[in-house]
Amino acid sequence: MIVRRLLAVMLTVAAMTLAGRAVAQADPAIDRIHIRAVAVPDGRTMEITTGYVSVPEQRGGASANPRRIELAVIRLRWAGGAGKAANMLLAGGPGDSGTRLLSGLPERRAAALLDLMGDDVVSFDQRGTGRSQPSLALPDPIPLPLDAPGSPATWLPLMERASRLAAQHFAEAGIRLASYTTVENADDVDAVRRAFGYSGMNLWGRSYGSHLALATARRHPAGVERLILVSPEGPDHSFKLPLQTDAAIRRIGARAGVPELPETMRTVIERLRKAPLTLDVAGPGGAERKIVIGAFDLQWITAQALGDPRALATLPIAYREMAAGNFSRISPLALASRTQWRLGSGMKYMMDIASGASPQRLERIRLEAREALLDDAMNFPTIDLQSAWPGADLGAEYRRPVRSAVPTLILVGDLDARTPIENAREIAAELPHAKVIVLENGAHQFDLFGDPAIQPLLRDFLRDRAIGVDRVRLPAIPFQR
């Protein structure tokens, strides 16, 4: 009883200290702080702090907007701890929730994460996402027609109209969409660091989170101690190169024991291009609906599947079945992609469009798409919706490589088709203290903190120990042939 009362007093004092800092600082500030104590099975107590950091919607310049927005934040630490540095987890997407990365962890996994990192762990919902306010969520479905083959020509007018209406809705609500860029997002990262009172931070970024980590390191070098870039995306990597996707598909086919996979894919796609199929497909309620499936349907579904190892595992058998005329596996996905498609988040479009691509990369994409297996489906529809959202191009200076002497660990899967090995090598070329580790059998998603092959790499890097390998092997993806 005495121990519980003492712990309650300590937590109250800690909350008052954080609240006092929020009052004393106009920017950044923490509001609505809540600290919860959680006992873990080994007897230790973990503190989970949640709250909101208030930041300007638009920073700097004579036309700076005085409007403020709120970022939902979360911190894990051991009770009684007071880390000087934070491990800041930056969610990907863009548009994924950072607070959910930590709040959704089981107690044992959260404790293991704290032990691995050796310091406090912090994350936040980036502007426009999750519990941060205002929300730029766009959850409503935008039905795409079923009676014609899927194609950019058919779908883009509908997607553009929905985008323009969404942008108009946000503008009428007083939201300045042009402020939802990675530059402002990077300044938010540093604001969260300062609001919690950390002198420095290790930035952990995955996919778009690595893009954000690099931008933060460039804009706020004094506050960044280490970079851990996972499935990395550099400043000029937001839009994907179609022939790099082809190269990843060849590696996937070879690893699956189906080296003919790319040719099978091309054959099936070309058949549908010449002769789209009309299929009866059972919807979620069981009622059958007719849908016309064409080449782009298959290219777009495949592009999305390449990011998920579970879907990736079915790629060989799905194309083998379709080559034999059996579309039963893919047809429900085609129906779902038409009836359940949604914009999802205005933040996603603003971030990716503002980061954009250099003219040279855009030209490569245009030329490579002519011969690539998936055309430009990896970038669809974002690359084609740039005119539908407010202009916020971050420019050539933003897209140049990041140069930094910060110790950096880069982890990339050799089967990753979304952020391929080439990304990692280009990023590392400008970082003299970067170590690239290729994860054999790794796709775009893998268990970063739970895989026993990866944990020693992270532990050694965080503790300044040399990493003596360039490749590690993850469990094989259970490909279905």
If you average pLDDT over residues 159-175, what whole number do you get?
Answer: 98
pLDDT value of position 64? 59
Q: Which of 63-67, 339-343, 432-436, 460-464 has the lowest mean pLDDT?
A: 63-67
pLDDT tens for residues 282-297? 988 888 999 999 999 9
pLDDT value of position 479? 98
The single-letter DSSP state of residue 133 is B
pLDDT value of position 229? 99
- Name the pLDDT band for 22 (thresholds 50, 70, 90): very low
- The CATH class, in words, for 30-136+176-235+401-473 is alpha beta
pLDDT tens for residues 29-70? 899 999 999 999 889 999 999 999 999 999 976 555 689 999
Task: Examine the pLDDT at 15 and tell me if it is beyond 60.
Answer: no
The pLDDT mean for the chain works out to 93
Question: What is the CB neighbour count within 10 angstroms for residue 337?
Answer: 17
- Name the pLDDT band for 103 (thresholds 50, 70, 90): very high
Residue with tokens 């005085």: 66
CB 188 within 8 A of CB 164: no
The single-letter DSSP state of residue 112 is H
pLDDT value of position 10? 38
pLDDT value of position 84? 77
DSSP assignment of 319-332 equals HHHHHTT--TTTHH
pLDDT value of position 11? 38
pLDDT value of position 5? 38
The single-letter DSSP state of residue 379 is G
- Name the pLDDT band for 132 (thresholds 50, 70, 90): very high
CATH 3.40.50.1820 residue spans of the chain: 30-136+176-235+401-473
If you average pLDDT over residues 240-254, what whole number do you get?
Answer: 98
Q: Whole-angstrom Cα distance, residue 255 to residue 242?
A: 20
pLDDT value of position 26? 52
Instruction: Find the DSSP H helices in 231-355.
Output: 242-255, 261-274, 295-305, 309-312, 315-323, 331-339, 346-355
pLDDT value of position 61? 61
pLDDT value of position 62? 54
The tokens describing 128, both together, are: 């426009």
Percent of the chain with pLDDT over 90: 88
Q: Which of 11-15, 119-123, 458-462 has the lowest mean pLDDT?
A: 11-15
Task: Examine the pLDDT at 8 and tell me if it is beyond 70.
Answer: no
pLDDT tens for residues 371-381? 999 999 999 99
If you average pLDDT over residues 362-373, what whole number do you get?
Answer: 98
If you average pLDDT over residues 318-327, what whole number do you get?
Answer: 98
Q: Whole-angstrom Cα distance, residue 280 to residue 192?
A: 52
CA torsion 120-402-230-407 (nearest 10°) is -50
pLDDT value of position 121? 97
